Structure formats: structure tokens, C-alpha cells
Amino acid sequence: MLPSVTFLDLETTGATPLRDRITEIALVRFDHGIETVRWQTLVNPQQPIPPFIQSLTGISDAMVADAPLFSEVADKLLALLEGSVLAAHNVRFDHGFLKSEFKRLGITLRQKVLCTVKLSRLLYPQFYSHGIDAIVSRHQITGLARHRAMGDVEAILVMLNDAKRDLGEAAVQAAAMKLMAAPTLPPHIDASMVGELPEAPGVYLFYGENDLPLYVGKSVNIRARVLSHFSSDHASTKEMRMTQEMKRFEWIPTAGEFSALLLESRLVKERQPIYNRQLRRERSLCSWQIDPLAQPQVKLVHEDEIDPSQMTQLFGTFRSKRQAIEALRKIADLSHLCVKKLGLEAGGRGPCFAYQLKRCKGVCCGQEPPEIHALRVQQALMAHKLKSWPYRGKIGIEEYSLENDVRQMHVFEHWVYLGVAEDDDRLQDLRTQKTALKFDLDSYKLLLKMLAHKKTRVHDLAD
């Protein structure tokens, strides 16, 4: 099927690589279609095996008590995998556990992988389920030790042998090669770096010549998102130009999507990457503020003038003065507001032009009391009103990623993002620091959306 492929299965104490450990390893290696190695071993996980797992696999604490530690079989396992493609059913699970175990030993595992679940889907698209149990039933496999590592490996080998018989070896090979097809990488990009990309949330950065920032992106799966840039670089002129200019990339793991969004927003503003037009800072951001006693009754407040603790009289967030005026004109027309009183038409005596068209109720010529007009202005703008801060003081939004084993607490006050804490000392610093609050539209929108989620963990940090 491939020049060298090693079919592997693991049994573990649970489903989380960062917390759980391996209890059994089994593999069968093929070189040029010929079986060359068959190896299995129990592994002492150095932690109790949960009763449910013991009943599922049949592997008990007593069975692994005298088994070798992973560190004692690591060198042999590396040698057996060397130069071979690692194939497993839901390979992300097995590969993740192996990477975690080797990482504890200070070893970075770099291994090409093949998922036999995806391979089964390509070979047998007419079937809905492609788990081991479904394969055992479909291919009428008997006599295997189900939920033991070697038994599950042998089930996959039977399925592949049946596929070669039913579909032809060429079809099996073509399906495997399709799954193994690597994206075309830009010049000067080290292919080994792609193998290190995590399937976890975070932010990634593309750099061009002389470390010029080209692009900052985020994803809940950094690996998949970065590879999508390479595989679709023909889809748009922007993508093609960016990947051609890119010389290297890096990534920063985060505790989740919210953490990634905040970090992406900050890095784009700080580094001004040339391909991030949407998030790059607009310094002309402004909002309308109502003053019933003034003439005009509304005035533009620019971002630098916004006091985050006094937002009850602010309406709308606009990227430019022109956008703000156009929006106010539409609101005035729909609500029959006076364009003179709003400052949208030059002052002077006499009614405004809208009154002559019967689109104004006459505050400009004494036909409507100014206080009534001011109330109607506030009512018309209500849908655009910025939310006041609903908490006593500072709050923390917590996220945790099992994939990264990263926990982050993001601290806010009056919609302003103060920073992120990954330990108690940093959190205490953020709780006690006093700093000028500077409004940022992106942080405001991100937090507003996050607070709307029922599962968001909000910590009151006011005390």
C-alpha cells in the first residue's frame, strides 16, 4: 500500500493524552507489502486504571504492575516507527498519546500518519459507520480480542485485505495516497515545522522577507487552518501572493477560541500585518453622544475621547465620520427628526429642509418642544446604544484547553481588556493594577458576544 506502513493501536487509562497514560501498545509493520515486525507489550501507566476501562479492555492494575514503563520501551518503539507511516484507527487519538508520552521524555515525535477511519470511508462510502465494531461486523471478523491493542490492529488488517480483494490493490493504494497527499509548501518553509503544528486552538503568524509580518490568523485547530492556506493558495490572488511571499511561520497556543480572538486582535493592532485589513486599527472610530441641552443635540465622540465607564449616552460605533453621518441621516429620515437640531444642516432661522418636505415635526420652527424632540432622538437611537457595564468592577473570563493543557483568565473592566493571566501571581497583578481605561471596539464586541453564551465562566474580581 505504501513503501512502509506500521499499523498501531493503543489501550489507555482514558481519553485525554495530557492526563491519561498508555497501558498497551501493539503494532504490525509492513515494508513493501511484506510484514516485517509484529510487536506488542503492556505498559505500566503509573496511575490506576479506572474500573470502566478495566471492564472494557480486560487490562487490570495487576496485569500492568510488573510491565515496563513507557520510558523503558520508548527507544524500541521509535526504532520500529522510524521511516514508516503510522497508521491507526482515529490516528489523532493514538498519535496524540504517543506525542505526549515522548514529550515527557524530552523527545519530539515527528511522524507521518494515516487515519484508517478516513481510509475506510474512502474505500466503503456506501456504509455510514466506520468504527472498529462496525468493521468487525461488516467483514464478519471472528476470534479477535476486541478492545485489546493487537486485536484491533488485526481487525484493520482484515478490512484492508478484504478491500484489496474486493476493490483491487490499486484502489486501496490510491485511497491511501490521497489521504497522505501533503500540501504544496511555499519556498523556504521547513516541512518538519508542518508536522509540529498542533490540532488545538491558537494564533498563527506568517512572516515574509526580513521578518515582515504578513498575516495573523486564529483557529480552534491551528494545523488544519494553516494547511488550508497552503492547499488553497490558488483560490484567490491574495492567498497566492501571501503564500508566495511567506518565508516562515510560527504559532501561539491558547486556551480556546475566545483567547485566540483576543490575541489575534491585539497582534494585528501591534504588528499591522499587510494582509489583515479587516482587523487593522481604524483610528477614526467614533460614536454619537446625546446632549439634550446643546445645539446640536448630538455630537461625534472619537475613540480616544470615549470614557468606557460613561457609555450610557453613546450610540453606535462607526469606522469613519462619513459612515456616522450617513447612519444618522437615515435615522433622522425614518423618525422625522430635525436635521438642523441634529447638526446635519447649517443653522439659521426658519425651518429645516426636511420640515418643508413634511419629514420633520417642526422643532426648528417652534412646532415641537425641544425636550420632546430630544426624547425622540434618544428613542430613535436606542437600537444603537452601547451597553453599560453590568458588573461591580473587574471580571475574569476563564478558558481551558485539554489539547494544549492551557488555562487562561482574561481580565476586563468597563469593557476594556486589561490582559491575560495564566497563574495566580499574574491574576493578582491584574486585579490590583490601576490604569487608564481606553475603549477598543474589537474587545467590546468580542466580550459582548462571549457574555451572551450561557456556558461562559465569569469570575467577579471586584473584591
Q: Name the grid cell of 446.
A: 468580542
Neighbours of 419 (CB within 10 A): 16
Burial class (CB in 10 A: 0-12, 13-18, 19+), 178: exposed
pLDDT greater at residue 51 or residue 240: 51
Whether 5 and 85 have beta carbons less than 8 Å apart is answered as yes
Give the span between the Cα atoms of 404 and 419, in whole angstroms. Answer: 20
Give the span between the Cα atoms of 228 and 223, in whole angstroms. Answer: 9
Residues of the chain with CATH 3.30.420.10: 4-180
Give the span between the Cα atoms of 182 and 180, in whole angstroms. Answer: 6
Which pLDDT band, with edges at 50, 70 and 90, does 233 fall under? very low
- Percent of the chain past pLDDT 90, that is, above it, reads 57
Average the pLDDT over each of 69-78, 194-203, 272-281, 359-368 and give the range with the smallest value.
272-281
Task: Please give the pLDDT value at position 186.
Answer: 66
CA distances from 6 to 2, 101, 170, 289, 335 (A): 10, 18, 19, 67, 72
371-419 pLDDT tens trace: 899 899 989 999 888 888 999 899 999 999 887 788 999 999 999 999 9
CATH topology assigned to domain 4-180: Nucleotidyltransferase; domain 5 (3.30.420)
CA distances from 192 to 103, 109, 183, 320 (A): 16, 11, 13, 45
Task: Please give the pLDDT value at position 284.
Answer: 65
Which pLDDT band, with edges at 50, 70 and 90, does 231 fall under? low
* CA 415 from centre of chain: 22
* Distant-in-sequence, close-in-space partners of 271: CB < 8 Å, separation ≥ 6: 205, 213, 216
CA distances from 55 to 52, 153, 260, 410 (A): 5, 20, 40, 41
Average the pLDDT over each of 182-191, 251-260, 287-296 and give the range with the smallest value.
182-191
On average, the pLDDT of the chain sits at 89
Which pLDDT band, with edges at 50, 70 and 90, does 462 fall under? confident
> Residue for cell digits 493514538?
94
Task: Please give the pLDDT value at position 283.
Answer: 55
Burial class (CB in 10 A: 0-12, 13-18, 19+), 394: buried
Regarding pTM above 0.75, the answer is no
Residues of the chain with CATH 3.40.1440.10: 191-282
Q: Which of the four CATH numbers 3.40.190.10, 3.30.70.600, 3.40.1440.10, 3.40.50.620 does domain 191-282 have? A: 3.40.1440.10
Averaged pLDDT for residues 201-206? 95
Give the span between the Cα atoms of 96 and 204, in whole angstroms. Answer: 20
Which pLDDT band, with edges at 50, 70 and 90, does 236 fall under? low
User: In the chain, what is the greatest distance between 2 CA atoms, to the nearest angstrom?
Assistant: 98
Burial class (CB in 10 A: 0-12, 13-18, 19+), 357: exposed
> Residue for cell digits 508536522?
195
Q: Assign 1 to helix, strand or coil.
A: coil
Which helix (DSSP H) or strand (DSSP E) does residue 75 occupy?
helix 70-81
81-123 pLDDT tens trace: 999 999 999 888 899 899 999 999 999 888 889 999 999 999 9
325-352 pLDDT tens trace: 999 999 999 999 999 888 888 877 788 8
Give the span between the Cα atoms of 461 and 197, in whole angstroms. Answer: 35
Give the span between the Cα atoms of 162 and 159, in whole angstroms. Answer: 5
Q: How big is the chain by its Cα radius of gyration, in Å?
A: 31
Q: Which amino acid is at 372?
A: I
Task: Please give the pLDDT value at position 136.
Answer: 92
